Structure 1
Amino acid sequence: METQQELDYRRIADAIGFFRDNFKSQPKLEEVAQHVHLSPFHFQRMFQQWAGVTPKQFLQYLSVEHAKEILKNTGASLFDTALETGLSGTGRLHDLFIKVEGMTPGEYKNGGALLKINYSFADSPFGQLIVASTPKGICHMAFVDEGEDAAFAKLKAIFPNAAYNRIVDMIQQNALFVFSQDWSRLDEIKLHLKGTDFQIKVWETLLAVPSGGLTTYSTLAKKAGYDGASRAVGTAVGHNPVAFLIPCHRVIKATGDIGQYHWGALRKSAIIGWEAARRGVKQ
């Protein structure tokens, strides 16, 4: 006999399939809820708990992903792309791209052609870093484990047509001060993040975890406003584009295990220990 949890999961899977098959018609919440035999209120709550985002946000992500494929693989105009995606015009496409991708559809189509990115390499207590910045702030920071050429190639893959300049600027210098100065000065560091509203909300919540402190995925999910969506929050943590400054290393499993880390579990343990030691010295 099917348990309630299995039934709920099947309904959410069915709803996701319905969204994927019908997103071009931009179905309303009521229509999808009726398809899975739930009231709009209960469907909204259940979907967010299981998927980590609201049904509306999921539909937006599907729409933008479809538009991205069209812009990437065809010569379609923004107007034709909007219509093919099920949107009423380029205005809605523009607003949706800004909301989900942090850039205009034109910027995406051009691969960041108008974006100017400075980048440099620097040493840290945990290995070499590549740090990249736009005039708005740090857009990328990662540990270099496979050589500078490979690290730059990964950066360039994000915005293949941006103009890159290997130079150290003040934005990068301020960010690197975090290894030698008080973490409380984090507000002096500017970030230029590209991500969904959900991801950015999770990253913002991570910034509130103090140096030397730890949190769990479930606690982070609750504080971010997505109680019960630990798995989706974990995925957002894993897509953190700015190592160390956005402290995804401070998230551990509820069992107390350190857990995985994009740049290696050993490095994660070293960072946690280093921060705890510095906090103890200051106290």
Structure 2
Amino acid sequence: MNTLYSIPKSVATFATVTDNENQINYQRIEQAIRYLEENFKRQPALEEVAEKIHVSSFHFQRMFTEWAGISPKRFLQFLTIDFLKEKLQESKNLVEAAEAAGLSSQSRVYDLFTTLEAVTPQEYKQRGAGIRIEYGFHATPFGTCLIGITERGICWLSFLTNDQDPRFELEQMKHHWNNSIFHEDHLVTQTFVEKIFSDKAPSQKLHLFVKGTNFQVKVWEALLRIPMGNLTTYQDIALSVNNPRALQAIGSAVGSNHIAYLIPCHRVIRKDGILGEYRWSSVKKKSIIGWEMAKSAGE
């Protein structure tokens, strides 16, 4: 049996009851992560956090472990400043070791599965004129997403924040690809979402189609070279694009990324170990980073 998301009919998308339940569970997980961080100094007990999100402690432990593969307590350890600083140095050492060994483009673990194409200068001026975009709203491990697909690749991926009107994200996509033709097709987009968030490496490369300035595209290409479970800083991204002083422009380009998760802007944090802001909420950034850390650690 199918059920509707709480989305207006103009952007209504069908999802299974299981998917709907997963979205509710993820919202609870976000609430739990926020509460744990706000009260980290006194380290609240599992029962207290579970009560805060209105579930039993048994259900909370099981729900969180099924999502992340680890306990809430272990998950939070991945987000401490000391751990994140250590991870930054470890990631930097991996890059330096790869360069010393003569490996191309750093350790491009994730980029092996992702390719990127930018619009031409003429297409950039035309702001997407003549491009057809199929779009759909779908369940993911990090809440509901909006994805846009063209015949040249994935051109949009964004997350909805809790209780957000999905029309807002749809308008963001339409504004970015201003003159394109939009058509909702949940069946087409579902296959891409399944590939993106599968536990297995995709059997075929995921092709991305982006619209940005030359500088933005260079920064997004640099982001693709950050393997899952690793982190980098704005300073290191600036160095990788041979523009070490352009930190403000780097931050702007990272924040302008319109293909979340696949172009992993969430893996860029401050050099002091502070995670910083994220276009789709700072709590979602924490969720994604902790989830990736757990997956890459094999826990």
TM-score strictly above 0.5: yes
Q: Which runs of 5+ in 1 are unaligned?
A: 1-96
Match of 1:126 among 129, 138, 142: 142
Kept in 2: contact 1:138–1:172 (CA 8 A)? no
User: Is 1:103 the equivalent of 2:119?
Assistant: no
> Going by fraction, where is strand more abundant, 1 or 2?
2
User: Is 1:249 the equivalent of 2:270?
Assistant: no
C-alpha distance in 1, partners of 2:187/2:230? 30
Shift, 1:104, TM fit: 5.6
Alpha-carbon RMSD across the aligned residues, in angstroms, is: 2.2
Match of 2:209 among 161, 175, 192: 192
- Percent identity among equivalent residues? 36
Shift, 1:223, TM fit: 1.3
Name which structure has the greater RCO, CA cutoff 8 Å, separation 6+: 2
Kept in 2: contact 1:137–1:189 (CA 8 A)? yes
User: Is 1:142 the equivalent of 2:161?
Assistant: no
> Going by fraction, where is helix more abundant, 1 or 2?
1
Shift, 1:187, TM fit: 6.9
Kept in 2: contact 1:211–1:279 (CA 8 A)? yes
- Give 1:241's aligned amino acid: H
C-alpha distance in 2, partners of 1:174/1:149? 21
- Give 1:131's aligned amino acid: I
> Is the alpha carbon distance of 1:172 and 1:216 closer, same or farther for their aligned partners in structure 2, counting shifts above 3 Å?
farther
C-alpha distance in 1, partners of 2:276/2:204? 28
What is the TM-score with the length of structure 1 in the denominator?
0.58
After superposition, residues 1-283 of structure 1 pair within 5 angstroms as 98-99=120-121, 103=123, 105=125, 107-108=126-127, 112-145=128-161, 146-168=164-186, 173-182=191-200, 185=202, 188-281=205-298
Kept in 2: contact 1:175–1:245 (CA 8 A)? no
Kept in 1: contact 2:135–2:189 (CA 8 A)? no
What is the TM-score with the length of structure 2 in the denominator?
0.55
Highest Rg: 1 or 2? Answer: 1
- Give 2:155's aligned amino acid: C
Kept in 2: contact 1:261–1:268 (CA 8 A)? yes
Runs of 4+ displaced beyond 3 Å? 168-172, 184-187
| Cα shift readout 1:83-113 (whole Å, capped 9, x = no counterpart) | xxxxxxxxxxxxxx933xx6164x34xxx44
